[in-house]
């Protein structure tokens, strides 16, 4: 399989190069030259398959000959050593719980796969890869725990001091060994500016191979299609539902793009809802075909506070820039903070189910969609992207009720924090990076 840039002006590359580079040299995003397809027989053969079997069947088609199949299969088993439950709320509404990985958010699916693939490719090239990330929370923790202990890789992550939650800070600063946390005296934008500067610093790039691990990397995107395939087949097998609608709480639109890949591959998926908060650039595009990104607005569903989503270019590419054709597969629905809180309450009252804000946005969007469309009778799957405990304050405030912290988290909270405090001047980052073993 070869990979093209969405800007079409750099040469096609292997998965290895696309993974280690992240962004194409022409500034575009890598996309597979063709989307692999499962025939109806192949889909039928996946009857009764486990999550990891489905993941392997999909990954195989994207990886091609780049790594041996037994190595790929082992890799998938170490990536997904946790469950992906599908919880019924009523006869045709389901929650796919994507928060059972080590950092309790769905970003584990992409980060763990990317980390191991990067390790394999880096070992092949006999290189040590330094992953540099600026984080405001979830991405950094998934990357830290994803790359933890992976040979030929190390992570340097920058987070804004005092601006992440205590739980997030524990996750960012306790992975240890090949993961270094830098606590920056500044805000998230400072962290991002410093990382960008490092990527274009010629002297630094002579001695280190730097790469980024954000969701523009195609190897973080591919594995996110696994849980769409899994849920669509599970619904058929266990509940006799065909072609469900997926409601996807969206920020950078990596998750939704992976869903579109799964549908194109031939998995039985009916429709998508792009559920957004007040950051509704894509929702507006879906309505009138004009892309007019606004500045980012802070909301209750913070991980979706993205004014100009980085994966939108890839989504557009997949629909040949045709908003009408995108609109046949995807309906955009934006949900306010007020509606999010009402939904957290009503879902708890009706089903006794605890939903954190991002999941609640997706649930509410599905309800809105159903109330407007007569054809929307089929089963709906709400993607739950984080464990309620990750957004404890928002839920406790809304429900007026204390939430119990799971025991494995208690352990995490007791681990010793290890971070290096630096100012927001680039030269401090450069000197830290130069001081790492070569
Ligand atoms: C990252 C994140 C999202 C948004 O996912 P995208 O792929 O960026 O659209 C939604 N919910 C949670 C909890 C997240 O961490």
User: Model confidence over 251-280: pLDDT tens digits?
Assistant: 999 999 999 999 999 999 999 999 999 999
Instruction: Write out pLDDT tens, residues 14-35.
Output: 999 999 988 888 888 999 999 9
Output the CA 385–ligand 1 centroid distance in Å. 7
Three-state secondary-structure class, residue 70: helix
* Beta-sheet pairing, 271-276 with 330-334: parallel
Point out the ligand 1 atom lying closest to the alpha carbon of residue 258: 7
Are the C-beta atoms of residues 231 and 244 closer than 8 Å to each other?
Answer: yes
**pLDDT score, position 127:** 93
pTM above 0.85, yes or no: yes
Ligand 1: which atom is nearest the Cα of residue 249?
Answer: 10
Domains, the chain, in order of start with CATH, read 3-26+57-69+107-219+416-434 (3.40.50.1100), 83-106+221-399 (3.40.50.1100)
pLDDT of residue 183: 97
pLDDT value of position 412: 84
Q: How far is 168 from 150, CA to CA, in rounded Å?
A: 21
Cα(434)–Cα(204) distance, integer angstroms: 7
Q: Looking at residue 303, what DSSP letter applies?
A: G
CA 426 to the chain's CA centroid = 28
Which of 16, 107, 263, 390 is catalytic? The answer is 107
Rounded Cα distance between 278 and 297, Å, is: 7
**Distance from the CA of 249 to the center of ligand 1, in angstroms?**
7
In whole angstroms, give the CA distance from residue 276 to residue 174: 32
Pairing of the two strands 245-249 and 209-211: unpaired
Beta partners for 422? 184
Q: Are 209 and 130 in contact (CB under 8 A)?
A: yes
**Atom of ligand 1 lying closest to residue 359 CA:** 11
Q: Are 210 and 203 in contact (CB under 8 A)?
A: no
**Residues in contact with ligand 1 (CB, 6 Å cut-off):** 105, 107, 138, 215, 249-255, 303-304, 358, 385-386
The list of the chain residues with pLDDT below 50 reads: none
Q: CA 311, CA 251: separation in Å to the nearest integer?
A: 9
Helix boundaries (H) for 92-153: 107-124, 138-147
| pLDDT at residue 25, as a whole number | 87
Token pair 């309505």 is at which residue?
Answer: 287
Q: What is the pLDDT of residue 384?
A: 98
107 is an active site residue = yes
- Helices (runs of H) and strands (runs of E) counted in the chain: 20, 13
Q: Supply the pLDDT for residue 217.
A: 92
Report the SS3 class of residue 381.
strand
What pLDDT is stored for residue 23 in this prediction?
85
Strand partners, 31: 4
What local confidence, expressed as pLDDT, does residue 286 receive?
A: 93
CA torsion through residues 260, 261, 262, 268, sign:
positive
């Amino acid at each position: 399989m070869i990979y093209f840039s969405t800007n079409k002006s750099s040469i096609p590359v292997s998965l290895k190069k696309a993974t280690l580079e992240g962004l194409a040299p022409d500034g575009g995003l890598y996309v597979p030259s063709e989307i692999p397809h499962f025939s109806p027989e192949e889909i039928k053969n996946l009857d009764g398959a486990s999550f990891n079997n489905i993941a392997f069947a999909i990954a195989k088609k994207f990886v091609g000959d780049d790594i041996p199949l037994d190595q790929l299969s082992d890799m998938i088993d170490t990536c997904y050593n946790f469950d992906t439950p599908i919880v019924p709320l009523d006869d045709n509404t389901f929650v796919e719980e994507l928060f059972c990985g080590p950092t309790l958010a769905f970003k584990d699916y992409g980060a763990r796969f990317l980390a191991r693939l990067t390790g394999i490719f880096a070992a092949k090239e006999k290189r040590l890869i330094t992953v540099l990330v600026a984080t405001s929370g979830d991405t950094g923790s998934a990357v830290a725990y994803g790359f933890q202990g992976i040979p030929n890789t190390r992570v340097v992550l920058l987070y804004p001091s005092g601006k992440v939650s205590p739980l997030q800070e524990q996750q960012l600063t306790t992975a240890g060994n090949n993961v270094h946390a830098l606590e920056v005296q500044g805000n998230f934008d400072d962290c991002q500016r410093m990382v960008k500067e490092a990527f274009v610093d010629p002297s630094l790039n002579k001695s280190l191979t730097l790469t980024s691990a954000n969701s523009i990397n195609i190897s973080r995107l591919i594995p996110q299609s696994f849980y769409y395939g899994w849920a669509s087949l599970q619904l058929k097998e266990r509940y006799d539902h065909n072609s469900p609608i997926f409601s996807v709480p969206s920020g950078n639109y990596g998750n939704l793009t992976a869903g579109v890949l799964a549908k194109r591959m031939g998995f039985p998926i009916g429709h998508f809802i792009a559920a957004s908060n007040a950051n509704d650039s894509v929702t507006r595009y879906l309505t009138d075909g004009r892309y007019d990104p606004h500045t980012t607005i802070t909301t209750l569903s913070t991980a979706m506070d993205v004014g100009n989503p980085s994966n939108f270019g890839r989504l557009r590419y997949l629909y040949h820039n045709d908003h009408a054709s995108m609109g046949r597969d995807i309906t955009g629905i934006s949900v306010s903070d007020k509606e999010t809180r009402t939904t957290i309450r009503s879902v708890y009252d009706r089903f006794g189910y605890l939903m954190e804000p991002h999941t609640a946005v997706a649930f509410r969007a599905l309800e809105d969609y159903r109330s407007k469309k007569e054809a929307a009778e089929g089963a709906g799957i709400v993607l739950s992207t984080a464990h309620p405990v990750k957004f404890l304050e928002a839920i406790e405030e809304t429900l007026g009720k204390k939430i119990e912290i799971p025991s494995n988290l208690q352990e995490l909270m007791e681990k010793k924090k290890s971070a290096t405090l630096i100012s927001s001047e680039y030269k401090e980052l450069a000197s830290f990076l130069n001081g790492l073993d070569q």
